[in-house]
Homo-oligomer: A and B are copies of this chain.
Amino acid sequence: MLKGFTVPRSPLGTAALTPPPPWHYTGDVLAVEFWNDPDVSADILPRGVRLDARHWGRSVALFVDCQFTASNGEYLDPARYQSREFIVLLDATWQGLRIAWCPYAYADNDAAIMRGWIQGYPKKFGVVHQTRTFAAAGAASALLAKNSKLAACMSAHGQLLAEARVILSERTDGLVGLLDRPVVARRYFPRLSAGMHDKPVVDELVRCKIDDLLLTNLWVGEGELIFPEAHGEELDMLGPIRVGRGFRFSFSCSVSSREVLADLTV
């Protein structure tokens, strides 16, 4: 009897790329709010999802440094269960509901990529770095304080895809416009059978349910963000026409299911 939530399924179930939910995350995030060109970004939405008319083209780019665990102390296997990720969320609507649509996501770890696909995040392999803040004060410490600077970058296959910088101005308890909408993504798995390459076996619009989301040490400031052009990528087409606030915060949350909003195969 083979076991495992994902491939490879195996006699003990420990070889699987990721253990079954609930999945618990914690991490530090550097994020920048930006506006893309709505004439371009409207083309990145699946059927039924529309740009949010009240926030034409508003988006957030998040650089995430995170640690994962399921129910068996996975956080004690740091080589396998830490990841650094990059994700773009676009203000959109679905059937009148204000949502955050995820067109692109990157992670530096196979388990994180697999968990992403299962949730609907279209993850590719990317190398993500962000300036970290450390408890011991010093010239290299980048403490959370007024006028502190932090930077982040993301590259894939040796090409720089995103670069951000934030200058902190003040600590705050919560913010409108930051992770305050349900994230909607698309689970998609193609068929390989002859003649069926454009008939995916799974094509679902899903709402990613994020439980127990906790944001802490939240700072806001001024952001900078660029998406350099790169071959084999289209992130740059969402390139900022205007950049807004920058954010730095710590978070924790859990994921154990998702809700199917629509089956796009029909």
Contact = CB atoms under 8 A, between A and B. Distances in A.
A8 B214 contact: no
What bracket does the count of chain A residues touching chain B fall in? 35 or more
B212 A138 contact: yes
A138 B78 contact: no
A260 interface: yes
A247 interface: no
A139 B69 contact: yes
Interface in A24-68: 24-28, 40, 43-46, 66-68
Interface in A120-176: 122-125, 127, 129-132, 134-142, 149-155, 157-160, 165
Count chain B CB atoms within 10 A of each CB in A20, A24, A67, A217 and give the residue with the most. Answer: A67
A201 interface: yes
A233 interface: yes
A77 to B, nearest CB: 6
Given A138-B212, A214-B137, A67 B132 contact: yes
A75 interface: yes
A104 B17 CA distance: 11
Interface in A227-266: 231-235, 237, 250-254, 256-260
A28 B133 CA distance: 10
A151 B214 contact: no
A8 B256 CA distance: 23
A28 to B, nearest CB: 7
A80 interface: yes
Contacts of A97: none
20 contacts: A5-B197, A7-B117, A8-B103, A8-B122, A9-B188, A11-B234, A20-B197, A26-B140, A67-B131, A68-B140, A77-B157, A78-B131, A110-B124, A135-B250, A136-B216, A137-B252, A138-B212, A189-B189, A194-B257, A202-B202
User: When A and B form their complex, which 3 residue pairs have the shortest distance between CB atoms, in order from nearest?
Assistant: A138-B252, A155-B158, A7-B122
